[in-house]
Amino acid sequence: MTDQTPAATERPSSPRPEPTRHGSEIIGAGCYQPSKVLTNHDLEGMVETNDEWIRTRTGIRERRIAGDEDTVPTMATAAAEDALANAGITAAAVDLIVVATCTSDQRSPNTAGRVSNNLGAPSPVAMDINVACSGFVHALAVADQAIQAGTATTALVIGAEKLSSVTDWTDRSTCILIADGAGAFVLRRAERPGVSAVTWGTEPELTDAVVIEPPTNKFVQDGKSVFKWAISSAAGYASKTVTNAGYTMDQMGGLFSHQANLRIIEPLARQLGLSDRIVATDVVTSGNTSAASIPLAFAKMWQAGELPADTPFLLFAFGGGFSYAGLVARTPRA
């Protein structure tokens, strides 16, 4: 009998190339906001509050509230369509859809599945992620890692929320904060990574600080504890994010932090030494849209030409879980 096995030292004539690990980059951003504007003066007629209290405690002047026709999937789809148009590609190229939301009213199919169907995308992987207000940055990291691993090439990453559907409209401590909307990024495989490693985690002692739970299914929070954490701990994690990403703070074009409260965003920018850069303050006219807040602010500024191209920005979010997540993402190349 002849032994056909090659000798152990023999090398194959054409060795298989090492698998290449790519990065991803943002190639477009889009958003959707409902048409209904709810001002602080409107709220004065609904609960015991006033414009001055809301502006001085939160910075919010007005917010958008969904109409009956606006669902989490329809808003997510509209933001996705806007992002695809901004990127100059069609849904045919999309092989991964990740939606961050904590307010979808349907457990199955998930929102990503609905978006896929609405867009007519061929047969992408479609998953939802629920990490409340830090959900979008988590979703961006998951999509980036899928692209790095070679299991996707072009992703839609969406944050979409209808917080008005889980709001107690008689509770002045929460109803003045919340809003609805959606934002989306198109992420594509790239030789030079435009999305950094993520820095993420949880603060178990604050697990119950932000909840939407039965029997009321309404949003309740320990605002003071969250505020205290944001002022004392967020900058440390945000700073670590930039270091872990391989950048220095000096290289940052600016800051997109979760749009919860101007009294958190401005001190955070100051603590990081970013006050003189571009700092997103969309909360003033959009309120707190949870997982939608960062892509919504980013897409509006990108489409308005207010962001330099190919520039690294710090994205940092925190909220229910209690979770936080940060990464550095470059704006699209042009």
Ligand X SMILES: CC(C)(COP(=O)(O)OP(=O)(O)OC[C@H]1O[C@@H](n2cnc3c(N)ncnc32)[C@H](O)[C@@H]1OP(=O)(O)O)[C@@H](O)C(=O)NCCC(=O)NCCS
Q: Just list the catalytic residues.
A: 133, 258, 288
Q: What phi, psi does 169 have (nearest 5°)?
A: -75, 5
- The C-alpha atoms of residue 201 and residue 183 are separated, in whole angstroms, by 23
Of the candidate spans 23-31, 34-42, 52-60, 118-126, the one that interacts with ligand X by CB under 6 A turns out to be 52-60
Tokens of 128: 């939802």
3-class DSSP assignment, residue 318: strand
Q: Are 185 and 83 in contact (CB under 8 A)?
A: yes
Q: Which of 23, 44, 227, 275 binds ligand X (CB under 6 A)?
A: 227
Residues forming a β-bridge with 97: 126, 156
Q: Is residue 261 involved in binding ligand X (CB under 6 A)? A: yes
Question: For the window 63-102, what string marks contact with ligand X as x by the rule CB under 6 A?
Answer: ----------------------------------------
For ligand X, which residue has the nearest CB?
223
- The C-alpha atoms of residue 91 and residue 95 are separated, in whole angstroms, by 9
Cβ atoms within 10 Å, residue 29: 27
Residues between 162 and 221 with contacts to ligand X, criterion CB under 6 A: 172-173, 176, 210, 221
Number of residues binding to ligand X, judged by CB under 6 A: 21
3-class DSSP assignment, residue 52: helix
Q: How far is the CB of 122 from ligand X (least distance, A)?
A: 35
Give the pairing type, strands 180-190 and 23-32: antiparallel
Q: How far is the CB of 49 from ligand X (least distance, A)?
A: 3
Q: Which of 80, 226, 299, 328 binds ligand X (CB under 6 A)?
A: 226
Q: Is residue 57 involved in binding ligand X (CB under 6 A)? A: yes
**Between residues 102 and 121, which has the closer beta carbon with respect to ligand X?**
102
Q: Is residue 232 involved in binding ligand X (CB under 6 A)? A: no
Closest CA to 75 of 254, 315, 296, 268: 296
Q: Is residue 288 involved in binding ligand X (CB under 6 A)? A: yes
3-class DSSP assignment, residue 1: coil
**Between residues 160 and 176, which has the closer beta carbon with respect to ligand X?**
176
- Contacts (Cβ under 8 Å, ≥6 apart) of 329: 26, 140, 194, 195, 196, 312, 313, 315
Q: Which residue has the tokens 């209808």?
A: 162
Q: Is residue 130 involved in binding ligand X (CB under 6 A)? A: no
Q: Is residue 45 involved in binding ligand X (CB under 6 A)? A: no
Give me the residues that bind ligand X (CB under 6 A), please: 49, 53-54, 57-58, 133, 172-173, 176, 210, 221, 223-224, 226-227, 230, 260-261, 264, 288, 319
